Chains A and B, each alone.
Chain A
């Protein structure tokens, strides 16, 4: 399988990682009414790493992403994004921080009254970048997700998988340092899911973007842990058996509002916890 190329592949973004963590949760708790959704959650996401988050429906996975981008404040604890504590930031500071973070929502959340190019270009247009530059970058990023032909279409004219890819295009157009994916393959057929996973792997391996990936589909996360993007062939290829832990991929599992696992693919596969064994079987 091959992924389309992004013409302006910028090697500058794949240089050495800055010190510290891309994202850090420190004893974060949040409750809605009387229901505790996340209870003293702590984890760290290194620069360039992708962390897959598992958990049953309603375990707080999407809430965790919304906390990470400051869409809701935690009841207690601290969240650090790219070294800055976001808990306690003003709205203006949060809007500034979000320029460095991209998010792909569960149901894509495209603006349905705007065309595909307006959706993708939204951030650039808000920054008053010249129309020629906006068009060039939108076409480039739409080519990356193989949807250049949808440039003038409305989101309602696209299939679920296409909408998801447009949402990815919208999130990556400004080359964010951290990407948050909320069930990017949820409800999609296996072929489309694979295309999206390949885009995420490419983003991880070529641009070294740090990412949190919420998913129900274990096989997607395992594909990411066992594959690497080959820039020469422009394809996602399986890693040899002995190198499975060489990709920057880790896993986090939530259960009953708490983190019950945080580690790499090998640790997950060899876990003795009955719940985890049942989940991954």
Chain B
């Protein structure tokens, strides 16, 4: 097969980008509006919650533990020089709850589920199953997109709490076993450093990330063109786009919360 390289004009690229943003916005808006329209596919939502939430639990547990332990390990070596090992708990607590917990859980679920959604819906597009669904009188955004959006936002919230807790346990393991920090001292500092704003930040982010992961995954799935190769392309793009969007949105949400509540 001959390899053909086609040059695309910047105007065309810009037009395609604007069109993609418009279609993504419309799909996201529809997915949200469907929560207030009947029928609400609760069965599908529960099934997705099981797939996304329970299915992602092992990787979230492992990454939560690892990141918490690594955070403690890396910070401890620096803190030790200033005799501040007792501050490990505070550092792990703030880092995990406000930033790393939501972020790593979001990225892990994006890698696992945005790709899954894009490939599943993409396959349904290329085999005309989505057309069949519409022909059978069912709105695919109601039946397929909205349950995924609801389930991902809902489950990511709880997965983040689990990741936060596991991160703190990982940090405790390192602090206690390697640096001899007292158990009560660690957990007291973990608890005392947190204020409402930190917990609020840490719990609002996963809901936004969940929405992003599901809408981006579904958007790339629903806009798949070009057979099995197209499904592969959509899957890759969904993971890349959702991961990048998570990082970008994370920055702006953090900035916004700082603007509202002020710096610590």
Contact = CB atoms under 8 A, between A and B. Distances in A.
Interface of A: 66, 69, 71, 91, 95-96, 98-99, 101, 103, 105-107, 109-112, 122-123, 126, 170
Interface stretch (B94-102, B110-118, B126-134, B254-262): B126-134
Contacts of A106: 128
Which 10 residue pairs spanning A and B have beta carbons closest together? A109-B132, A109-B128, A103-B135, A98-B137, A95-B137, A105-B128, A123-B136, A99-B137, A109-B129, A69-B135
Interface of B: 39, 127-129, 131-139
Contacts of B129: 109-112
B137 A126 contact: yes
A71 B134 contact: yes
A261 to B, nearest CB: 28
| Interface of chain A: mostly helix, strand, loop or mixed | mixed
Nearest to B134: A71
Nearest to B39: A126
B137 A109 contact: no
A150 to B, nearest CB: 18
Contacts of B138: 95, 122, 126
A114 to B, nearest CB: 10
B196 to A, nearest CB: 43
A98 B136 contact: yes
Contacts of B131: 66, 71, 105, 109
20 contacts: A69-B135, A71-B134, A95-B137, A95-B138, A95-B139, A98-B137, A101-B135, A103-B135, A105-B131, A109-B129, A109-B131, A109-B132, A110-B132, A111-B132, A111-B133, A112-B127, A122-B136, A122-B138, A123-B137, A126-B137
A121 to B, nearest CB: 11
A106 B127 CA distance: 10
A123 B131 CA distance: 14
